[in-house]
Structure 1
Amino acid sequence: MTDYARAERRQLADLLQQAGPDQPTVNTGWTTRDLAAHLVVRDRRPDAMIGVLIPPLAGHGEHVRLAKAAQPYAQVVQEVRTPPWWSPISNPLVDALSNTVEFFIHHEDVRRATPGCTRRVLEPGEQRAIWQATRLTARLALRKVGFPVLVEAPGFGTVRVGTGEPRATVTGEPGELALFVSGRQRVAEVAVTGEPVEVEKLRTAGLGM
């Protein structure tokens, strides 16, 4: 069985090393150095990541990330490549669920910031693993838009968010849907159908966690 979380981590580390520290990413304002530092902090400093859940503590997390980003880039990338054996989100019990989609998305953050980048063809097994995580993310992220939405991944399943008849539908492969519901609508290759107002709101909403 393929370990997709570790494969995506390895491929992203290779790409970060190849790109160097100053390349732009899909994350507005973040270079490859910023992204690499974020991943190391996520793996190794759970105290810094709590600001995601408790906004008043976000300043501490950003301070820790900036300190990590100031370290030698090669060292930071090596830490991305070699996570600690045990952490709340990088351990054998939760690695597949918490990191497959995380590292796929950040891999694409680097890839798709390059003009002319083409979509990767993912194995069905990796698409299934990404869909497993994306179903939950979609339910959380799409509540923000304020109307019912149907998310379709042909061959993998559907998710209905909100009550009542869906007023917009987002259709695509699991990997593309993962990018869309994480707030990367502008680079996600999906079809969004429905009334023009709802379609535009979906494409421009501040989605993600």
Structure 2
Amino acid sequence: MTEAGRERAALSAEFERVGPGVPTLCGGRTAGELLAHLLVRERRYLVSLLGIPAPSVLRAAERRMARLPWLEMIELLRTGSGGWLPGRRPTDGLEFLRLYVHHEDIRRARLGWEPRPPEVYRDDTLWHGARTLGRLAYQRSPVGVVLRRPDGESWPVRRGPRPVTVHGQPGELVVHMCRRPRVRVQAAGPPADVSAALAARPGTLFGGFAATRPPDGSGQHTTGYNEG
């Protein structure tokens, strides 16, 4: 089974465990609304594209999806998008990251959340994805941005002057780039450059919103935030 397949199974089990009414970190959605959001993007892909210029179309599709029985919705997620079937989302290489972030949207909405324990293959897959996602997340940064994981491996995702380095476990870096409000990373560089780089991230990656608390600016060279 691929990492995406494992994450899909784990997310499905998480939805089944928590039920539709719990809060998440995905744009203020409940778990039920998040699952409907996911299913529309996977199984009503053309509708989700129409929803970009016409958000009311997307909201209506999500409301219709949310009327399905809860366990039926979970089974639709568990069985996947169906590849290239008409109207369904094609595999785009970001499936694992999307599922991982939405799983974290549920986990991190709870008090006392903790990052997942390290896991070599999963973290290597996340690191590879973070390098791709980082180019999108930081494309508007006015300064350079380098990602660095705890083993010291680093990757520049934005070329530019006065590069800022964002340190963290691969999964934390992925969640951070999606501007979720609870994440554990350290951003090193002049405070003004750190603030500019972090502010440049879009607030809409994987259905999110611009809710990440800005760094506090303390210290001359290192700004970090641990939100719990």
Bucket of the pairwise TM-score, normalised by the shorter protein: 0.7 to 0.9
Q: Give ranges in structure 2 of 5+ residues lacking alignment.
A: 206-228
Residue 71 of structure 1 aligns to a residue whose secondary structure is coil
Is the contact made by 1:51 and 1:59 (CA closer than 8 Å) also made in structure 2?
no
CA distance 1:5–1:143, shift in 2 (3 Å) = same
CA distance 1:154–1:51, shift in 2 (3 Å) = farther
Q: CA deviation at 1:99?
A: 1.6
Residue 184 of structure 2 aligns to a residue whose secondary structure is coil
Q: Does 1:30 align with 2:26?
A: no
Identify which of 88, 106, 117 aligns with 2:102.
106
CA distance 1:116–1:72, shift in 2 (3 Å) = same
| Aligned counterpart, 1:69 | 66
Residue 187 of structure 1 aligns to a residue whose secondary structure is coil
Q: What does the per-residue CA deviation read over 1:105-154, in whole Å, with 9 as the maximum and x for residues that have no partner?
A: 11111000000011111421111111222212111111233222222124
Q: CA RMSD in A?
A: 2.3
Q: Trace 1:11-160 onto structure 2 (pairs within 5 A).
A: 11-51=10-50, 55-87=52-84, 94=91, 97-155=93-151, 156-160=153-157
User: Aligned equivalents of 1:179 and 1:59: distance in 2?
Assistant: 27
Scaled by the length of structure 2, what TM-score is found? Answer: 0.78
Q: CA deviation at 1:205?
A: 5.0
User: Aligned equivalents of 1:84 and 1:204: distance in 2?
Assistant: 33
| Aligned counterpart, 1:188 | 183
Scaled by the length of structure 1, what TM-score is found? Answer: 0.85
User: Aligned equivalents of 1:164 and 1:193: distance in 2?
Assistant: 14
Is the contact made by 1:141 and 1:181 (CA closer than 8 Å) also made in structure 2?
yes
Give the aligned length. 201
| Aligned counterpart, 1:197 | 192
Identity %: 27
User: Aligned equivalents of 2:89 and 2:146: distance in 1?
Assistant: 31
User: Aligned equivalents of 1:51 and 1:132: distance in 2?
Assistant: 30
Which amino acid in 1 is paired with 2:184?
E
Residue 176 of structure 1 aligns to a residue whose secondary structure is helix
Is the contact made by 2:141 and 2:158 (CA closer than 8 Å) also made in structure 1?
no
User: Aligned equivalents of 1:201 and 1:69: distance in 2?
Assistant: 38
User: Aligned equivalents of 1:204 and 1:163: distance in 2?
Assistant: 16
Q: What does the per-residue CA deviation read over 1:130-180, in whole Å, with 9 as the maximum and x for residues that have no partner?
A: 1222212111111233222222124454124032331x2111111111001
Q: What does the per-residue CA deviation read over 1:29-76, in whole Å, with 9 as the maximum and x for residues that have no partner?
A: 200001111111122111122257xx3133322221122123222221
Q: What does the per-residue CA deviation read over 1:68-115, in whole Å, with 9 as the maximum and x for residues that have no partner?
A: 123222221221111243248867xx47x3221111111111000000
Deviates more, 1:156-165 or 1:130-139: 156-165
Q: Give ranges in structure 1 of 5+ residues lacking alignment.
A: none
User: Aligned equivalents of 1:27 and 1:113: distance in 2?
Assistant: 9
Is the contact made by 2:143 and 2:196 (CA closer than 8 Å) also made in structure 1?
no
